[in-house]
Amino acid sequence: MIAIVLFGKPGAGKGTQAEFLKEKYNLTHISTGDVFRYNLKNGTDLGNEAKVFIDKGELVPDSITINMLAEEVAKNMDKAGFLFDGFPRTIKQAEALEELLKEKGISFAGTIGLDANDEILVARILERGKTSGRADDQNEAKIRNRYKEYNEKTAPLIAFYENKKMYSSVDGIGTIEEVTERLSKVIDTLV
């Protein structure tokens, strides 16, 4: 059983690509956003814990997020592995994920980054915002702020994983099929 992290800025295509890759490689796609929405909507204990922080406008502590992910992993041990999307976002989270995988006996295969130009991504997200219903997809200033946050907090993970020789970069611009093919070439070397 393996785990792969799909990495990239908002709008890079992580969720779209994960839908194709999970079928091709028999992986469970774990999107942190989906996991949070599920737990909040269903009023789970972890969802209620997270809501306290969200309602105050604070970041949810890593421990709650890891516990949510651990529950998702435990529910899906029948697949060939996991494709994480949206997590980790910090080095502390990366270390916690590695510990979780080790506890579950899951091999961490590596991280694949979808690279794309910010201007192309901003246009993508604004287009997505026309149908997504997400307010943060409809405001260019908020989108650019998400990139600023990404560059400050998440981009350091690239060096973290490169130092472990666990990072591959893939061009995220092109048709969905072209990007899927590029990602598949990398995944084929990891599985």
Comparing 69-83, 106-120, 136-150, the range with the smallest average pLDDT is 136-150
Annotated binding site for AMP: 32, 37, 58-60, 86-89, 93, 134, 146
Annotated binding site for ATP: 11-16, 128, 174
Residue 104 CA to residue 106 CA, distance in Å, equals 6
pLDDT(44) > 80: yes
Picking from 59, 3, 14, the residue whose alpha carbon sits closest to that of residue 36 is: 59
Greater model confidence, 186 or 150? 186
Please check whether residue 82 is in contact with residue 76, taking contact to mean a CB–CB distance below 8 angstroms. Answer: yes
- Output the pTM of the full model: 0.86
Residue with tokens 């989270």, as numbered in its chain: 93
Cα-atom radius of gyration of the chain, to the nearest Å? 16
pLDDT(136) > 80: no
Residue 36: pLDDT band (50, 70, 90) is confident
Please check whether residue 116 is in contact with residue 12, taking contact to mean a CB–CB distance below 8 angstroms. Answer: yes
Annotated binding site: 11-16, 32, 37, 58-60, 86-89, 93, 128, 134, 146, 174
* AA identity, residue 97: L
Mind listing the pLDDT tens digit for each residue in 54-109? Answer: 788 777 888 999 999 999 999 999 889 999 998 898 888 999 999 999 999 999 99
Q: Is 146 helix (H, G, I), strand (E, B) or coil?
A: helix
Supply the residues annotated as catalytic. 14, 89, 128, 134, 146
CATH hierarchy code of domain 2-190:
3.40.50.300
Please check whether residue 11 is in contact with residue 126, taking contact to mean a CB–CB distance below 8 angstroms. Answer: no
Picking from 107, 105, 88, the residue whose alpha carbon sits closest to that of residue 96 is: 88
What pLDDT does residue 133 have?
79
pLDDT(141) > 90: no
* AA identity, residue 2: I
Residue 18: pLDDT band (50, 70, 90) is very high
Mean pLDDT of 6-13: 89
Q: Is 189 helix (H, G, I), strand (E, B) or coil?
A: helix
